[in-house]
Amino acid sequence: MPLVVHVVGARPNFMKVAPVMRALAARGADQRLVHTGQHYDARMSEVFFQDLGLREPDVHLGVGSGSHAEQTARVMIAFERSLAELPGVDWVLVPGDVNSTIAAALVAAKRGVKVAHLEAGLRSGDRTMPEELNRIVTDHLSDLLLTPSSDGDRNLAREGIPGERVVQVGNVMIDSLVASLPAARARRIPESLGLAPGGYAVVTLHRPSNVDEPETLARLLGALAEIAAELPVVFPVHPRTRARLAEPALAGAAARLTAVEPLGYLDFLSLTSTARLVLTDSGGLQEETTALGVPCLTLRENTERPITVEEGTNEVVGTDPARILAATRAALSGSGKRGRTPALWDGKAGERVAETLLARVGGAAA
C-alpha cells in the first residue's frame, strides 16, 4: 500500500489531517505522522491530538519557537533527516500555511518525493502576511493541490498552475467539526463559565499585526470592552497575547473581558458553537463559524477565505473600533450578515482526499 507522510506543526493542522488519516486508515494505507513541534505548549498542541483522536506522532521534531527563518530552517534540517529514513514514500502531505508547511514541502520536493498541499489555493492578496508567502510557495512546489472551495481553483489557474494538478475536495476542517460537535456540546463549557447559550461573544487574537502593535491592540481592546458592556466577551488568551495584556495602558480594557486559558479543540468548539457572535483574526475560525451559522467579524483588513464572506456568515471589519461596533450591533440586533454553508463542506472531504491520493499512486480508490 502507498506510504503517506503527514507533517503537522500548529493546531489548525491537526484538525485538517485527522479526517484524512482516518479515511486512509480505512483503506489500508501506510501512514507516518510527523509533528514538527512548531506549537510546543501542551495546551496548544498535545491536547488537540487527544480531542481529535489522533494517534501519537511517529516522529516529533521538537523545533520550538524562533524567527520565521530560524523555525523554517530547523524544520527543514530535522525533517530532511527524518524523510531520509523512510524509503518509498509516495506522498508528503502538508496542510495549511504555517512555517512547517513550506519547510516540509521544500524538503520533499528537493528529494523528489511528491507533495500534496491540503487547503491549497487560498489567497489574501496581502504579502505582508507570512502565511501568504507560505501558501504561494507551497502551492508552486506541490504536485497535487487539494482545494477547499472554488475560489482556490480560480487563484491557482490565475497563477498558471496546470488544472490536472488541482482537485477540489472540500473543507477538511468541517469534517472534524461535524464529527466532534456532539462531544463538544456535551462538555457544556459555556455553562461552566456561568454563561447561557447564545448569551455571549467569543474573541480570539493572535496575529502579530494585532497583538504586537500597542496602538492596534489598544483600539481592539477598547472596542471589545464596549461590547462587553452589552454581553459577556469570552477571551481564550493566546500565549503570544497574554504578556501584552499586563501592560498598564491595556490592563483596564482587558479586565472587562472574561479571559480564560487556551482551550482544547472540543472545549473551544463547545464555546463557539453556541456563541451569539465571534470576533477573530484567525483563518480557520472564519470557516467554522460559517459552518455553525454563527456571525463572525474578522479583525483584519483582508481574508484568504473570501468564500466565508461571499457565502458564509463572515464580515471583514478590520481594526477600526467604529466599524467593529457597528457590525457588532447589527449582528446583535439580528440585522447583520447571514450565510450558508459552501459546497463540499459536508463532512466528507477527508474521504475525497484519501481517494485522490490513492488514485494518483496507482492504488484503487475505495
Which DSSP letter does residue 181 get? H
Q: In which element (H, E) is residue 71 found?
A: helix 68-84
- Cβ atoms of 31 and 25 within 8 Å: the answer is yes
Residue partners of 162: CB distance under 8 A and separation at least 6:
none
Active site residue 39: no
Q: Which of 39, 117, 206, 238 is catalytic?
A: 206
Q: Which residues pair with 168 in a beta bridge?
A: 147
Q: Which residues pair with 229 in a beta bridge?
A: none
Cα-based angle 229, 231, 233 (whole degrees, multiple of 5): 95
- Cβ atoms of 282 and 258 within 8 Å: the answer is no
Which of 257, 193, 259 minimizes the C-alpha distance to 226? 257
Which of 195, 28, 6, 217 minimizes the C-alpha distance to 116? 6
Residue partners of 252: CB distance under 8 A and separation at least 6:
225
- In angstroms, the Cα distances linking 154 to 105, 283, 305 are 22, 19, 13
Hunting for cell 464572506 — which residue is that? 309
The SS3 of residue 243 is helix
Catalytic residues, by residue number, are 206
